[in-house]
Amino acid sequence: MAKVELEHVWKIYEGKVEAVKDATFTIEDKEFVVLLGPSGCGKTTTLRMIAGLEEITRGTLKIDGKVMNDVEPKDRDIAMVFQNYALYPHMTVYDNMAFGLKLRKFPKNEIEKRVKEAAKILGIEELLDRKPRQLSGGQRQRVAVGRAIVRNPKVFLFDEPLSNLDAKLRVQMRSELKKLHHRLEATIVYVTHDQIEAMTMADKIIVMKDGVIQQVGTPNEIYNKPANTFVAGFIGSPAMNFIDSKIIKDNGLWIKSDGLKLKIPKQFEELLEQYIDKEVIFGIRPENIYDKMFAMAPSEGENTASAQVDVVEPLGSETILHLIAGNDKFVAVVDPKTQAKEEQIIDVVFDMNAMHIFDKETGKAVL
């Protein structure tokens, strides 16, 4: 069992920098949790407080129900994999992996058994005699993970472990780490600013901004039910479109912006009643706007608009259109067979069942 709980945890550096503000969340046993957010949002600080490398200013950290605030890092039964791997350059791979166990005075045969087992899991058995400089980035990364595995810790902490790898290797290591998680049945806390890593690996994502937790949820919840405009804009690429609009009543409810008038599906009417004649932010993901010629959502006229094509970006499997309607600018990801050309006016269909509404003042999701 390895459950990690943070209760109203604060980190204030030098009495003034509020790096983490009132963080409360639970990481369940065997869960793969990703702390996600832009640079400087407090992810690494949170991870380092769990590891014991950073003192907790206020609040409580519990592991398996026991308060850990004042427990030494070495006694927390946690292993951390750093961004730069922190391998000892003069030691072989074997010795790098064995180092922590030697320090803890494990018997030699036990060390050998654990190192060989971890090397097998990670497919680095052939590399045990090499020095770190004789390894590729991906191999070094595996050694760093191996060093954590041999300790058989309660909790693994990963601090942006893939950020030094090239794009192709990142994709490969992503799926390897995911498989490893299943195999080890470990509790993992993983820090990244890469939303794709978070979406593909996490059981649960914790989104942070300016030291404050914005939302905790499954990848599906974070993507489909973002709590506010920050989360909505941070997850998904290209990002969700935000269009300043008003909700008006005219034989049903409509989204009305400078360049768009779109019918709101009946199912949302009750929820949006209180926003009639109020300004809101209309959110729609680029993949929910179609070139009318290839629309996957039914085009009923009431969910269709004309827009001028500003830029066409063909990516092969899909095409990104930058569109303008009145003063509104938005992006659509459309079928690559689109005939749309720059400066042309085209009809686009909005899948209004996928719409979001955010409060203009607070940015909080209404729908």
Segment lying near ligand ATP (by CB under 6 A), choices 14-22, 239-247, 260-268, 346-354: 14-22
Segment lying near ligand ATP (by CB under 6 A), choices 1-9, 11-19, 59-67, 89-97: 11-19
Which pair of structure tokens corresponds to residue 141? Answer: 């990364």
CB of 113 to ligand ATP, least distance (A): 36
Position among 14, 70, 250, 277 found at the interface with ligand ATP (CB under 6 A): 14
**Per CB under 6 A, 153 contacts ligand ATP:** no
**Which residue lies nearer to ligand ATP by CB, 231 or 321?**
231
Q: What is the CA radius of gyration of the chain?
A: 25
CB of 196 to ligand ATP, least distance (A): 16
**Per CB under 6 A, 145 contacts ligand ATP:** no
**Per CB under 6 A, 37 contacts ligand ATP:** yes
**Chain centroid to CA 22:** 20
**Per CB under 6 A, 45 contacts ligand ATP:** yes
**Per CB under 6 A, 277 contacts ligand ATP:** no
**Per CB under 6 A, 265 contacts ligand ATP:** no
Question: Quick one: CA torsion of 155, 156, 157, 162, rounded to 10 degrees?
Answer: -160
CB of 94 to ligand ATP, least distance (A): 31
Position among 19, 124, 186, 281 found at the interface with ligand ATP (CB under 6 A): 19
Position among 6, 9, 34, 42 found at the interface with ligand ATP (CB under 6 A): 42
Position among 23, 31, 36, 43 found at the interface with ligand ATP (CB under 6 A): 43
- Assign 3-class secondary structure to 161-189: CCCCCCHHHHHHHHHHHHHHHHHHCCEEE
Identify whether the C-beta of residue 168 lies closer than 8 Å to the C-beta of residue 175: no
Residues 327-366 that bind ligand ATP (CB under 6 A): none
**Per CB under 6 A, 161 contacts ligand ATP:** no
CB of 71 to ligand ATP, least distance (A): 21
Segment lying near ligand ATP (by CB under 6 A), choices 36-44, 136-144, 218-226, 259-267: 36-44
CB of 221 to ligand ATP, least distance (A): 22
**Dist CA 342 CA 322 (whole Å):** 9
Number of neighbours of residue 13 by Cβ within 10 angstroms: 12
Place of tokens 């590729």: 136
**Dist CA 46 CA 56 (whole Å):** 9
**Dist CA 139 CA 153 (whole Å):** 22
Number of neighbours of residue 108 by Cβ within 10 angstroms: 10
Dump strand ranges (E) for 139-179: 155-159
Query: From residue 196, how far is each of 82, 138, 162, 238 by CA, in Å?
Result: 20, 19, 12, 12
Query: From residue 244, how far is each of 187, 329, 360 by CA, in Å?
Result: 42, 10, 8
- Residue ranges in contact with ligand ATP by CB under 6 A: 13-14, 17, 19, 37, 39-45, 193
